[in-house]
A and B are shown apart, each in its own frame.
Chain A
């Protein structure tokens, strides 16, 4: 019991490194997925290169990805210091958006013939991993924030 309390008590002075690291990792994978998706040219020397042709929907996707990455970074910083909103809700919302993105551009670009099936699959996996990491970070942060809250409440009353 004592060691559990000490472990929780340490959180008063130590940052949420696991939540922070997982969120940043998710951001990195999100960035990789974006580059995987918008590969402009496969540098094939053939006559019929497969390439993404930018349009409005693609532009919106890129803008959304940039905004999401910025928010993910903000979330990482907030989660690091046990911010209640970002730890309890924020990361799950971001994870949900990332999951929804799976059904947007990868399928759209594949149907248009701009990307190969393998690229589509890799992108979907990357989106899924990015979302999964955010979910794990969210669960870890949620548990920590609740534990810390309870601990601080007990400390105040005692």
Chain B
């Protein structure tokens, strides 16, 4: 197990593009870190810098307090698993897994024991004599993992290892990865653009955008306590509903001139203190924090007409419009709602997020 420290690590490519800007964080022993973000946000570049496949332009990278900026990739004791598996097609599973140890001139019996151990962990023992062409995608990915774990490296780097798998296989592999991390207790850095993978696997998530860290938090925090509008929007399926609202000087929220029936919340005090009254702000609310029920004459709240009703199984998504803004609410499938029928909705004010309209930074309430 190893610790790692990024100290203002930046990467500027020869064409002047800054892929990573002052990436700073500490990775603790045995931690599972997931770098997540949209394409081109610099997560893979960061991983490649750790692996030594990309040169660090500025800043320092430490593993176990040893600066490794100029250490050759082979001497970093890091194993990397690639998206496309990078298996040797002419070698059997056994030889693919043993290859790195053979290159290191390890004792053949030790290599054999390590390979059998890794194969046992990954459930690959029956396939050891097969070539990659005769394996399924999930099995190939497990071979790629096996090739990494036989080396017993200080740190595992995984670059979108599940991207080539179908949804069902990805789910099962995700569980296997989590289980593997529990067993090995090795520091892992995992790159993905899939937020579900990030939320389910990570001890901590690093959310990046345009080479800049947006937030480093646990999955729970990043979901429930986003730092800014980008984080709030990126994490969550379906994504957070976002509206531009005007806060009147008397504290009434207006959406496109229509008052919204929302009771006073502690965040409002903060909004008032920070002089947001009389200004436009961005408000976000997650779909599960919008209460929806069929419209009844006695019901209190705001009213709308359902555009689309999507049954997901235990839950359902209700899409409707608030003025010109499309809103999605996640409700229990037991609530009798149909498309084109009237509904009454209410926001859970405890779970409203306010963001500055210009900067997107979260306006936090006083708690």
Contact = CB atoms under 8 A, between A and B. Distances in A.
A20 to B, nearest CB: 15
21 contacts: A3-B109, A6-B109, A6-B112, A6-B113, A7-B108, A7-B109, A9-B112, A10-B108, A10-B109, A10-B112, A12-B128, A12-B129, A13-B92, A13-B94, A13-B95, A13-B112, A13-B115, A13-B128, A13-B129, A14-B94, A14-B95
Contacts, number: 21
A56 B92 CA distance: 47
A9 B108 CA distance: 11
A7 B92 CA distance: 18
Nearest to B112: A10
In the A-B complex, the 6 residue pairs with the smallest Cβ-Cβ separation, listed nearest first, are A13-B94, A6-B109, A10-B112, A13-B128, A6-B112, A3-B109
Nearest to A3: B109
Nearest to A7: B109
Size range of the chain A interface in the assembly: under 10
Contacts of A12: 128-129
Contacts of B109: 3, 6-7, 10
A93 to B, nearest CB: 28
Nearest to A13: B94
Contacts of B128: 12-13
**What interface size band does chain B fall in?**
10 to 19
Nearest to A81: B129
Interface string A9-52: 11011100000000000000000000000000000000000000
- Secondary structure at the B interface, as helix, strand, loop or mixed, is helix
Contacts of B92: 13
A13 B93 CA distance: 9
Interface of B: 92, 94-95, 108-109, 112-113, 115, 128-129
B129 to A, nearest CB: 6
Contacts of B112: 6, 9-10, 13
Contacts of B108: 7, 10
A10 B128 CA distance: 11
A3 B95 CA distance: 20
Contacts of A13: 92, 94-95, 112, 115, 128-129
Nearest to B110: A6
Contacts of B113: 6
B130 to A, nearest CB: 11
Given A13-B115, A13-B129, 18 more contacts: A3-B109, A6-B109, A6-B112, A7-B108, A7-B109, A9-B112, A10-B108, A10-B109, A10-B112, A12-B128, A12-B129, A13-B92, A13-B94, A13-B95, A13-B112, A13-B128, A14-B94, A14-B95
Contacts of B95: 13-14
B342 to A, nearest CB: 68
Contacts of B115: 13
Interface in A45-89: none
A3 B108 CA distance: 10
A7 to B, nearest CB: 7
Contacts of A9: 112
Contacts of A3: 109
Nearest to A2: B109
B225 to A, nearest CB: 50
A38 B157 CA distance: 61
A132 B94 CA distance: 33
Contacts of A6: 109, 112-113
A14 B116 CA distance: 13
A9 B116 CA distance: 10
> By CB atoms of chain A within 10 A, which of B94, B109, B115, B128 has the most?
B109
Contacts of A10: 108-109, 112
A25 B228 CA distance: 70
A10 B129 CA distance: 11
A14 B128 CA distance: 10
A51 B129 CA distance: 52
A13 B112 CA distance: 9
Nearest to B129: A13
A156 to B, nearest CB: 15
Contacts of B94: 13-14
Give the most central of A3, A9, A14: most B CB within 10 Å.
Answer: A14
Residue of A10, A13, A14 contacting most chain B CB atoms (<10 Å): A13
A10 B113 CA distance: 9
Nearest to B119: A13
B87 to A, nearest CB: 16
Contacts of A14: 94-95
A6 B113 CA distance: 8
A12 B119 CA distance: 14
Contacts of B129: 12-13
